[in-house]
Chains A and B, each alone.
Chain A
Amino acid sequence: MNIFLINARFAHIMNLGVLFSGGKDSVFACYRAMEKEDVKCLITLISENEESYMFHTPNIGLAELVASAIGIDILKWRTPGVEEMELEDLRDAIIEARRLYGIEGIVTGAIESVYQSSRIQRICSELDLWCFNPLWQIDQLDYLKMLIAHGFRVIVTGVFAYPLDESFLGAEIDDGMIAKLEMLQKRYGISPSGEGGELETLVLDGPIFRRRLEVLRAARLFSGNRGRYVIESARLAEKPGHPNNRVAQRS
């Protein structure tokens, strides 16, 4: 093989699709993918089952607004969210993304979940696609600190485990919250980044955002050990350095 062909083989930039919820993990996975390859689309499964094993549900309707803020096309795919059958829906969504965008691989925000990552790996293997998990096995506290250091603004939109309480709902992840989560990890064994389903998040801004999200109206719903920060109205706002900002609003 001559040197030109060797270099071409290693220089090829892949077209990728990111499994996307608008939460911190899928957004940060997208960020890392954009640094290395070409992200052609975001793929969002909208589950009708709030207890879905695979797919994030709180404020999933805002994923489109986050995608718009980043400036990447989003493919939305509905699923009844029935365990295992939703994998067929995911497979169909990926096939459609390949047809529309020519993607060669899938990116996920999986960190620890062998359940989630194995199933997506199998789908990719069957479809002869690459599969990337750029947050895999990352230290969760280091990861939260990294999010802030890279300029992401992340709020908590759901808490689903004791002792996470109403005070977390709508709060931004900052150094103080990370310290609190670290303490709760030591005392109660919660996963600080919510990998065990303890909490869900929404990203409002970050280095890959052309525009940022502004929450205009939201309600805190808390009962027992579970709570949701339901965003009723949000819009995109301009960012310095990013012209071409039309205001879009979702109510």
Chain B
Amino acid sequence: MRRGADDTVILVLDLCYRAGSLSRYEFVEPVAAALRRAGAEIDILHYRELDDPSGYDKVVLCGTALKDRRCLDDAEQLSWIQEWKRPMLGISTGAALICSVLGGGVLPGVHIGMDDVRIIAETRLLGEPRKIPAFHLHSVRLALPSELIEVAEKCEAFMCRDRPVYGLLFDPEVRNRWILDRFVKCEK
């Protein structure tokens, strides 16, 4: 990890089926590029390569291909999510992983294409309640554990009750990069 005294470094965690996979171009690189454009310093690691995330200030858990659920089978390797206190954002499969690790349910539910997301609770990440158009590419629906609050209808977005931990089932790197901007700018 590269950092100076005042640098904030975001760990972008690749959850795809293999380190350096063909899916990385689609689910990791666009998120990393959007974070860099927002001024963030980032490291990209595959979840199987990660020993200890404690040196990072923020974490983004990326999405995966619709058929790719391998990281959910390997959730034990990511149990540190239970204790993570700093800002964290799960996208698509990354959101499902947070939900699963915190004891929630991950159920089948394919959602593909542009569709409105109805935000129902104000948060620092998504702002006030309203509808936003968003790109969906996921094969799950979530049953949230008590630790997580529904922020958008149908659990399309959630946050943790007592930690800056967010999940989005839709893909903010497509048409909603302002969300990644806000995540970069939110406090450590």
Contacts and interface: CB of A to CB of B under 8 A. Distances in A.
Interface stretch (B2-10, B109-117, B160-168): B109-117
A118 B21 contact: no
A121 B26 CA distance: 13
Given A118-B113, A137-B173, A137-B174, A132 B66 contact: no
A136 B65 contact: no
A114 interface: yes
A121 B64 CA distance: 13
Contacts of A137: 26, 29-30, 33, 173-174
Nearest to A137: B30
B171 to A, nearest CB: 9
A82 B27 CA distance: 31
Contact of A131 (B17, B48, B65): B65
Interface in B35-89: 48, 65-68, 70
Given A132-B65, A134-B26, A36 B20 contact: yes
Contact of B18 (A10, A124, A130, A138): A10
A67 B25 CA distance: 23
Contacts of A139: 33
Contact of B135 (A33, A37, A107, A114): A114
B26 A114 contact: no
Nearest to A126: B110
The bracket for how many chain B residues form the interface is 20 to 34
A128 B112 contact: no
Interface residues of A, number: 26
Given A10-B18, A114-B135, A118-B114, A130 B25 contact: no
A123 to B, nearest CB: 10
A32 B25 contact: yes
Contact of A33 (B22, B30, B65): B22
A136 to B, nearest CB: 4
B25 A121 contact: no
Nearest to A107: B22
Interface string B111-138: 0111000000000000000000001010
Task: Name which of B22, B70, B135, B173 has the most chain A CB atoms within 10 A of its CB.
Answer: B22
B22 A32 contact: yes
Contacts of B70: 9-10
Interface string B162-184: 00000000000111000000000
Contacts of B174: 114, 137
B23 A121 contact: no
Given A132-B26, A136-B30, A121 B17 contact: no
Interface string A107-144: 10000001000100110110011111111111100000
A114 B30 contact: no
Nearest to B20: A36
A130 B18 CA distance: 14
A122 B112 contact: yes
B139 interface: yes
Contacts of B17: 10
Contacts of B137: 118, 121
Contacts of A114: 113-114, 135, 174-175
Given A121-B66, A122-B112, A137-B174, A132 B22 contact: yes
Given A114-B114, A137-B30, A125 B66 contact: yes
Contacts of A134: 22, 25-26
A121 B112 contact: yes
Interface string A83-98: 0000000000000000
B81 to A, nearest CB: 21
Contacts of B25: 32, 133-136, 138
A37 B22 contact: yes
Contacts of B68: 130
7 contacts: A32-B25, A33-B22, A128-B67, A130-B68, A131-B67, A132-B22, A134-B26
Interface of A: 9-10, 32-33, 36-37, 105, 107, 114, 118, 121-122, 124-125, 128-139
